[in-house]
Amino acid sequence: MSQIENFEQSFKKEVASQPGGERVLNCFLCGTCTAGCPISEIEPGYNPRNIMRKILLGMRDELLNSSEIWKCYQCHTCVSHCPQDVRFADVVRALRQIAVKEAIFDESFAAAVEKADYDARVQRLEKVNALIEERSK
């Protein structure tokens, strides 16, 4: 097991100073975010709690470079369940901003993710409309 030695304890403060990241310090890592997360349900490795753990520990590089922070689709279920008012969905947005600012991911990538979210919504709506139409036939 490789030992983690280099972390930046100031990272949590950095996140907290970003819009959306303000409440990051409230977290007591209960895991309700993960338990209720619809993405964790379909993507076994995706674990919001571990993202929080890495923020609090200060594993800055590992986190900002990981694909994890882009998987959230902003449904805010975690926000409605969270007993400590951490607002994980907003925290993730704060992480993305830092990652873009640091040019770890470029802006076009972020825009593409947003587009994917938008497309998914459009696609869903189209499908539901089609189902309704079929039903009324």
**Residues of this chain that bind another protein (CB under 8 A):** 1-5, 7, 9, 12-13, 25-32, 34-37, 40-41, 44-45, 47, 49-50, 53-54, 56-57, 80-85
Q: How far is the CB of 54 from another protein (least distance, A)?
A: 8
Cβ atoms within 10 Å, residue 82: 21
Q: How far is the CB of 19 from another protein (least distance, A)?
A: 18
Q: How far is the CB of 41 from another protein (least distance, A)?
A: 6
Cβ atoms within 10 Å, residue 35: 14
- Alpha-carbon torsion, ordered 114, 120, 121, 124, to 10 deg: 180
Q: How far apart are CA 107 and CA 47, in angstroms?
A: 24
Residue 79 vs 110, nearer CB to another protein? 79
